[in-house]
A and B are shown apart, each in its own frame.
Chain A
Amino acid sequence: MTARKTERLLNLVICLLHTRRYLSVQEIRTAVPGYAADSEEAFRRMFERDKAELRDLGIPLETGTDHAAHDDELGYRIARRDYELPPVTLEADEAAALGLAARLLNSAPLASATASALLKLRAAGPDAVDAGEGLAWTALEPQIGGNEPAFEACLAGVTERQRLRFTYRTAGGESQQRDVEPWGVVWWHGRWYLVGHDTHRAASRVFRLSRIVGAVEAHGEPGEVTPPVDLDLRAHVAQLTQDASTATARIRLRTGAGWALRRAATAVHNDGSDWDVLDLPYADAEQLADQVVGFGADAVVLEPPDARDAVVRRLRAAAGELV
């Protein structure tokens, strides 16, 4: 944006904030330097573009008329109460918490939005953020929010509530076209996920952003997507990785070994030998086998039989025996 244009837009904002009544386009042309010199047609085009730019910045441009009789041409103004950020008064500990929260998300699009939000809060009052500066906890180094290329478009789809189309690579390596009503994005175990309703499959689905290939295209109307009222984003993604443990396995474990298993156990029995027996909650026999088999000869699944078989199958394969 050129300095001349910035100057014109700033004068336009000041002018429309200052007026109580709606100003006609001609009144604006007279009042704001930078419009007068151009032809009527060039001015109209320029004014249309300027309006769009102000709205893109989130400036609430109101259109209307003061006199019901003069409804042939609409006027413009900016209502101060819609424009202004209300002052935020933070206690020192609150400002420190805000500083910490602001440092938490350093994924690119969120990080720049955080920085600009903090600037606005500082501009709203002298005490709000400055006070917490010295108190923020600097020994914390968060790396939250990766930089998956699809993130920005997915976030926009979520906030605009607009449908998204993209190519998705499945875990099996196959590429598929997906059409999704986006409900939300979730950062979980180091990855971004998109949760939404898959139109073709007519069911809710979770997509890993790093598996989206190429561009994410928004289509349909903004505001068209309505997420369920009782939406629990974390629960959707958690389902992918964890099932509620419903059964209890018995594991024989050498004394001193397998701390990672012990901490998840509900009971540890020792009969005086070099071995303990653990009661371990689990959901899936294959997952249980994954957990236990790495401990080699130090851990043996006693029950259930299907997990026992799953461990033996892995061990035979690793031993090079034909199964």
Chain B
Amino acid sequence: MSAPLDRLPRLLALVPYLLKRPGIRVSEVAEVFEVTEAQLRQDLELLWVCGLPGHGPGDLIDLEFEGDTITLFEPAGVTQPLRLTVAEALALVVGLRTLAATPGLADRDVVDRTLAKVEAAAGAAAEAASRVAVTVESEEQFLPVVRQGLESGRRLHLTYYVPGRDETTERDVDPLRLLLVDGRTYLEAWCLLAEDVRLFRLDRVVDLALLDAPVESHPQAEPRDLSQGLFRAAPDDQLVTLALRPTAHWVADYHPCESVEDAGDGTLVARLRTSDAGWLRRLVLRLGDAARVLEPPDLAEQVQTDALAALTGYAD
């Protein structure tokens, strides 16, 4: 972890920060500025020898340690932090505008008020923010219910569409987290049906109801580590090999693959793991002549059977 501000800008923020918080604990300051206590003490020692021209006793920045607390008496004129840089203003304004454009995450009116204040403080630096846009697919209908469940610790009843089987399922879940990943919103929850942690895409929620029952604690529930991406294949998932012609190359881009090899004639051979054979069959049907199942043979056969069955619907 590295501190968000380099040393000089950190010192310039530290002086007004301390000035407004007499008697603050050293450990708290170190935490806020994301530096070690040892680094913070070095910063404070440096401040001590800086000050107004003349650098006499009355000109220097003056601060006092008492136990593990600190009080700054004399800021040598550094009473406010430096204005936001263009990048800083942009980051805050884009964050707030994304929040405003994603209904259900926060109260729109509150976000607008906050945005107005931040923009006013940032001044001209906020102007570039109009050239960065962030889109989150909002699920207006169900997001407020999910929030309520998470905030009040209550169980949810979920009617959920499972595309691999093309059916809707009913289950009770204890909500754990709301994830916003790759532009989609997901509910991570303990599923009482599966007795395990499951991820539900909010755009596949058919219906959602807040129950009276409180959530139970599930010590065995392990939140997903998102650093490796949202979906990780389990070792016992089925390994599938696909031949992808150029118009289907996006599949290798879009889905995590174990390996992708160029067969030389514009065809990619992609190996991927899936727990959901139904999903894969649908995908291959959709790709038509752009994809073929190479392995396993029974899946290739199944796709062929699906296609022949579907063709009967078109027999004139």
Contacts and interface: CB of A to CB of B under 8 A. Distances in A.
The listed residue with most B CB atoms (<10 A of its CB), out of A53, A110, A139, A318, is A318
A286 to B, nearest CB: 10
Interface stretch (B1-9, B234-242, B269-277): B1-9
B36 to A, nearest CB: 16
A320 B308 CA distance: 9
B233 to A, nearest CB: 19
Contacts of B226: 141, 143
B11 interface: yes
Interface residues of A, number: 114
A291 B72 CA distance: 65
A117 B84 contact: yes
A31 to B, nearest CB: 4
A82 B83 contact: yes
A6 B310 contact: no
B182 interface: yes
B52 A14 contact: yes
Nearest to A172: B246
Given A57-B9, A117-B84, A104 B135 contact: no
A122 interface: yes
B81 A183 contact: no
Interface in B94-127: 94-96, 98-99, 105-107, 110-111, 113-114, 117-118, 120-121
Interface in A192-213: none
B17 interface: yes
Interface of A: 1, 3, 6-7, 9-11, 13-15, 17-18, 31-33, 53, 57-60, 82-91, 93-98, 100-102, 104-105, 109-126, 137, 139-145, 155, 158-159, 171-173, 183-191, 227, 231, 233-234, 237, 252, 256-260, 290, 293-300, 308, 311-320, 323
The 10 closest A-B pairs by CB, nearest first: A190-B182, A314-B288, A294-B282, A115-B4, A317-B289, A101-B95, A117-B88, A31-B53, A319-B307, A84-B80
Interface of B: 4-14, 16-17, 20-21, 32-34, 42, 46-47, 49-53, 55, 76-92, 94-96, 98-99, 105-107, 110-111, 113-114, 117-118, 120-121, 128, 130-137, 147, 150-151, 161, 163, 166-168, 175-184, 188, 204, 206, 226, 230, 246, 249-250, 281-289, 303-304, 306-314
